[in-house]
Amino acid sequence: MRKTDRYPVDGPNALWQIYRTVSKWKAVKNFVWIQVSRYCPSLPIKNWIYRRMLGMEVGEHTAFALMVMVDVFFPEKIKIGRNSIIGYNTTILAHEYLINEYRLGEVRIGSNVMVGANTTILPGVTIGDGAVIGAGSVVHKDVEPYSFVAGNPLRVIRTRASDHGEAGVSGTSAENTEPDTAYVNSLNKNSSSS
């Protein structure tokens, strides 16, 4: 279940009232740094931008593909573990502006997580360690560790054993802790043919 804080607004919809929730200077500064990072091919420079300029928590060896769009207003609410991959053109949001309210929520992405291309991650979700998110998915709820999920609406395709020898829900052996590349590729092909 997503964990967000809700803030009601009066008058025009919440997006029209954005600069009551975040300063214009912060929005412009973040926008510029995010655009630089989207096109930057250097992973160390990207991670420096995310950590130092945007206030995100980014673990060692985490990689952001080109065109990743992180939350422009509240990037400091995004926390990503070590050795994860955020796929091409993925969007990570920590806010939602609705008609009568806006919502804010931390996004927590664990270690060794693979997020497929063109995925949208909504505010307030937690993605557990070792999870794989299929390309083109909308992550609107928490994702359990070591599970393969995909789609819109998001659904669990299967789970696998953790790196600590726990039994997998789908009967995978404890020795098989690496992502099933052929399986993930088939998910990506199915997503693109829809």
The pLDDT assigned to 188 comes to 56
What share of residues in the chain are helix, strand, coil (percent, to 5)? 25, 25, 50
Q: What is the band of 182 on the pLDDT scale with cuts at 50, 70, 90?
A: low
pLDDT band at 161 (very low <50, low <70, confident <90, very high): confident
Domain of 139, CATH number, reads 2.160.10.10
pTM: 0.83
Residues 101-135 pLDDT 10s: 999 999 999 999 999 999 999 999 999 999 999 99
Distance CA 78, CA 58 (A): 8
Q: Which domain holds residue 38?
A: 5-193
Plot region of 118 (φ>0 → left; ψ -120 to 50 → alpha; else → beta):
left
The span from the CA of 181 to the CA of 178, in Å, is 8
Q: Are 101 and 84 in contact (CB under 8 A)?
A: no
Predicted confidence at residue 42, as pLDDT, reads 98
- Phi/psi at 49 (nearest 5 deg)? -60, -50
Residues 164-181: tens digit of each pLDDT: 544 344 433 333 445 555
Alpha carbon 163 to its chain's center: 22
Domain count, the chain: 1
